[in-house]
A and B are shown apart, each in its own frame.
Chain A
């Protein structure tokens, strides 16, 4: 039987095929509501308490999202306040994914102890170990073997896919709707936060001479 997960993936592709990629976003009801909270939470000082996640869970999720989008010379998931976005998501559009996170984190702790005896938590592992753990989690989700294969919530997504999806959304959600803190995500992808633009927009249109009909030489080719 085809899983809802793969059907959904095909569906996302197909939306692009007919309607344009912008519509893909339509398929994520609620995801952006979480952004406003991430924005406010990340801005607030002192940082407010989590509403859904325990401090321990939050610590693990922040470590995981920071493995998905690491911090380097440019901001990563941590600087964008992604964990606050996820906390809010679990209260709103992704409330049914709470068990996915709980089971996923439990599986991950077990995996951590098995792969790296003496390391009790993902967040306590070295960056290299964290990458190996996330790779295994992803591989299990993709292959359908091992605890990482588990699907949950009404979205029918694995823990790894849910986590990646929520991390990316919290990182790149439109800052005007409240979201990636200080445009952290947009800085990375190079999206100018300005509200209006004038041409030229980029490299290739800089020296464009204006539209001309194709020359006869071009025609003959």
Chain B
């Protein structure tokens, strides 16, 4: 039986207030409420459900129904700290219950063992803060498995020879192959690579209350109307609410974490939909607001005791932004692929996961996927081969020929952590609530530029081997836009060189925890959500254990 939904008053001191309801916040809400704690989740965006989702691009893109709105929440960008940042919508994230997991591609790779220990293996990389994680793949493996089974991930265990060890197979078979997957597999195998069915957080088989994927094609950018995409919204948020102990409160824009004279967090201050400010009191605070908004919130929460921002004694809050390097190549085939149908991706390979830095002259690695994620307008403006007439009969003919015959190889790869790549508060620009805007500073490490160029060339070879009659790749250019928001409150054992400890507890504030993309120490190879969710499951276990042993004041009694 479903319990009646619980509501709390801001003045009720709940056990945990969780800021953000996305990939990490949803998992923590479910786990902690299941463990007996009283939880309030504050989400800045609206509470939409499947019935609100639509294929209507007006709602999704024009009205920013699912994402941050650059008009109300301006972002500024600069490449180096010497420059003045200019207005530019350089950051995109989900802004609704479920966060970015509502609109994401749902590519769902685990990190591999190497991602956690790479600094030890590769050695120092000058100009970077490259370092090992304080935890290993083995620590996280049970949680990866838990994610796959709890939220529903489609895939085929053992299909990639590069896969890390796993304790259980996937809970359901892979999604159907697309034309792009078939030709990619053909081309990649000719070249000796090992393509395999893409692990996707999209159901290939129905689950209670959720349909299997119907291949509508409105996937990347859209909320799933049939609940097949395994977003936090479709999965853990509902389980959290069913405990009768968790309230998910939408339209709450948290702009300060309140602290007392002992330097402990006392709750979260937020604007409600009518811009009235409230303090939601809590015994402990967990920030899961994403790798841009989490550091911004800490910086906005400065006070006399924390002059550089809350939990920022290391000076590393906002630093080491890693957006994942990317490169693309396109191919046009003789016959229709009709790749606009189905989820974006159906085949992947990981042969380049760990490249030989000595041989190639750059560090890093990545995974390649076969996909098509253009919408019709975007395709007409940006999807045709270079040199295609821009208008007239030939333009129309090219649209007619190519829309159904084009595919893309997307190379997802590492970004190096560089401290001058970061999020900070813009000194001049304010958001619609009068708060300092987010400022992004980013210039690719030369290593990452070299790797992107190398990846694009490999993708071109695969398209050639796959039989593409036309192929090209866009010029490799510097990053000015981030969707993967990683590394900005990194985990570590040393309070001088990290913001949170391996329990996700901030080094500086004993009842303040951070868990989202900001926790990552290295970037992985481009698909961070799976790892963010595994970290969240693990963090919930750690936090519960801390509470049970009396290490979180006032929380021992509530643990079930």
Contact = CB atoms under 8 A, between A and B. Distances in A.
B197 interface: yes
Interface string B201-238: 00000000000001111001100000000000000000
Contact of A76 (B63, B214, B220, B396): B396
B454 interface: no
A202 B381 CA distance: 24
Nearest to B68: A26
A67 interface: yes
A16 B379 CA distance: 11
B450 interface: no
B373 A214 contact: no
B393 interface: yes
A17 interface: yes
Nearest to B381: A168
Interface string B176-205: 111101110100011010101100000000
A192 B340 CA distance: 9
Nearest to A12: B382
Given A174-B57, A203-B337, A213 B159 contact: yes
A207 to B, nearest CB: 9
A39 B373 CA distance: 25
B404 interface: yes
B94 to A, nearest CB: 12
Contacts of B1: none
Interface stretch (A50-58, A112-120, A143-151, A193-201): A193-201
Nearest 4 CB-CB pairs, A to B?
A: A203-B335, A202-B338, A189-B403, A172-B376
A211 B56 contact: no
B173 to A, nearest CB: 10
Contacts of A26: 61, 64, 67, 89, 92, 221
Interface string A105-130: 00000000000000000000000000
Contacts of A13: 382, 474-475, 477
Given A17-B477, A30-B62, A204-B337, 15 more contacts: A13-B474, A14-B477, A15-B481, A22-B373, A24-B375, A24-B381, A25-B57, A69-B395, A93-B62, A131-B392, A178-B58, A189-B400, A189-B404, A205-B176, A205-B179
A70 B400 CA distance: 13
Contact of A20 (B376, B410, B477): B410
Given A18-B324, A202-B179, A29 B336 contact: no
B333 interface: yes
Nearest to B399: A189
B481 A169 contact: no
6 contacts: A26-B221, A69-B395, A195-B216, A202-B337, A204-B182, A205-B179
A156 to B, nearest CB: 13
A16 B376 contact: no
Contacts of B489: none
A126 B325 CA distance: 50
Contact of A31 (B62, B182, B215, B379): B62
Interface residues of B, number: 91
Contacts of A20: 105, 220, 344, 371, 373, 410
Interface of B: 54-59, 61-64, 67, 70-71, 88-89, 92, 105, 156, 159, 174, 176-179, 181-183, 185, 189-190, 192, 194, 196-197, 214-217, 220-221, 323-324, 326-328, 333, 335-342, 344, 371, 373-383, 390-393, 395-396, 399-400, 403-404, 408, 410, 452, 474-484
A72 B474 contact: no
B377 A168 contact: yes
A140 to B, nearest CB: 14
Nearest to B334: A203
Contacts of A68: 391-392, 395
Contact of A18 (B216, B382, B481): B481
A27 B70 CA distance: 10
Q: Describe B's contact surface by its main secondary structure.
A: loop
B220 A33 contact: no
A203 B177 CA distance: 12
A196 B382 contact: no
Contacts of B390: 138, 164
A131 B58 CA distance: 32
Interface of A: 10-33, 35-36, 67-70, 72, 74, 76, 93, 131, 134, 138, 164-165, 168-169, 171-174, 176-178, 185-186, 188-192, 195-199, 201-205, 208, 211, 213-214, 218-219, 221
Contacts of B194: 214
Contacts of A169: 377
Nearest to B473: A17
B55 A174 contact: yes
Contact of B391 (A16, A69, A221): A69
Q: Which residue, A165, A174, A176, has most C-beta atoms of chain B within 10 A?
A: A174
A221 B194 CA distance: 12
Contacts of A12: 381-382
B409 to A, nearest CB: 12
Contacts of A28: 61-62, 377
Contacts of B374: 21-22
Nearest to A138: B390
B156 A221 contact: no
A173 B403 CA distance: 14
A188 B396 contact: yes
Contacts of A172: 376-377, 379-380
B382 A35 contact: no
A23 B221 contact: yes
B461 to A, nearest CB: 14
A14 B484 CA distance: 14
Contact of A177 (B59, B176, B217): B59
Given A17-B328, A198-B215, A202-B338, A190 B382 contact: no
